[in-house]
Amino acid sequence: MLQKCSFLISRRIISSPLLSRCVHYIQGQSPSPKIREYFYYIDHQGQLFLDDAKIKNFTSCFKEKDFLEFFFKRVKTNESGRYEDFPYISLCGRERNFIRCDDQPIVYTHLIQTESGHMLTYGYAGDRLKVEFEPSELCMLPWTGRVYHPASDRTGGVGLIKSSLAIELSQYFEYGHGDESQPPTHFNWQNHNYTLTNNLVKLVEEKSHVENET
């Protein structure tokens, strides 16, 4: 049986450079009958926490794979009109799980080989959550050092590559223009030299601009 998406009630006010105003909420609040609301945070390693957890590290993140699979499969852009400082939401029955993140809600953690090809996994649910690896769609932003890969349009179309995996993949980037201050142009991997589309550069910058203004 899936872990129920409910936890102890707590209270927090958010104020950070990424958020333009303070946000007040109570974990487990009920804005209407039979509706409960909870608030989560996803870090740049893809780990999921209750947003008001005082310490956010491996010991305090969620690890139960059934719950993580259920939660991440339902993540989408928050269009509810509530809590715009939490750009994403995961609906769990009558529970609304609002989500903010360090960068992107989808963080790819491992590159695995399957019968159908190479896949990127996310959500720390093993191979239950995965997408096809598209080498030509990788995008590295030199000004941040972060690497991105396409994700579902439901979450904005962009996923972040976990830093340890990004470091591993970065050795295959090439700069056809000779300028390493600009995104790489090629990905030379497994005997194939992929030309990078860099389609995600503009999308990442647009998302960052919009989220910093909310």
Domain boundary among 101, 122, 137: 101
Whether 76 is covered by a domain: the verdict is yes
pLDDT tens for 10-42 read: 545 454 434 445 789 999 999 999 999 999 999
Whether 74 is covered by a domain: the verdict is yes
Between CA 169 and CA 148 the distance in angstroms is 11
At residue 45, does pLDDT exceed 70? yes
Sign of CA dihedral 167, 126, 92, 25: negative
Residues 23 and 40 in one domain: yes
Q: Long-range contacts made by residues 85-89, C-beta under 8 angstroms, separation at least 24? A: 85/14, 85/19, 85/20, 85/21, 85/23, 85/214, 86/23, 86/39, 86/51, 87/211, 87/214, 88/155
> In 3D, which of 134, 139, 3 has the Cα closest to residue 66?
3
Phi, psi of 99 (to 5 degrees): -130, 130
Whether 87 is covered by a domain: the verdict is yes
Whether 2 is covered by a domain: the verdict is no
Between CA 135 and CA 169 the distance in angstroms is 10
- 24 forms beta bridges with 13
Which residue range forms the structural domain that includes residue 153?
Answer: 107-213
pLDDT tens for 143-167 read: 999 999 999 999 999 999 999 999 9
At residue 211, does pLDDT exceed 80? no
| pTM, rounded to two decimals | 0.87
Pairing of strands 75-77, 48-50: unpaired
The residue to which tokens 């080498």 are assigned: 135
Q: Look at residue 213 in the predicted model and tell me its pLDDT.
A: 57
Q: Which of the four pLDDT bands, split at 50, 70 and 90, describes residue 7? A: very low
Q: Per the structure, how many domains does the chain have?
A: 2
Residues 75 and 155 in one domain: no
Here the tokens at position 24 are 């007040």
Q: How far is CA 107 from the centre of its chain?
A: 4
Cβ count near 55 (within 10 Å): 7
The residue to which tokens 């509706």 are assigned: 35
CA dihedral 3, 7, 54, 42 (to 10 degrees): 50
Q: Look at residue 20 in the predicted model and tell me its pLDDT.
A: 41
Share of the chain above pLDDT 70, in %: 87
Residues 83 and 137 in one domain: no
Residues 129 and 155 in one domain: yes
Residues 94 and 189 in one domain: no
At residue 2, does pLDDT exceed 60? no
Mean pLDDT of the chain: 90
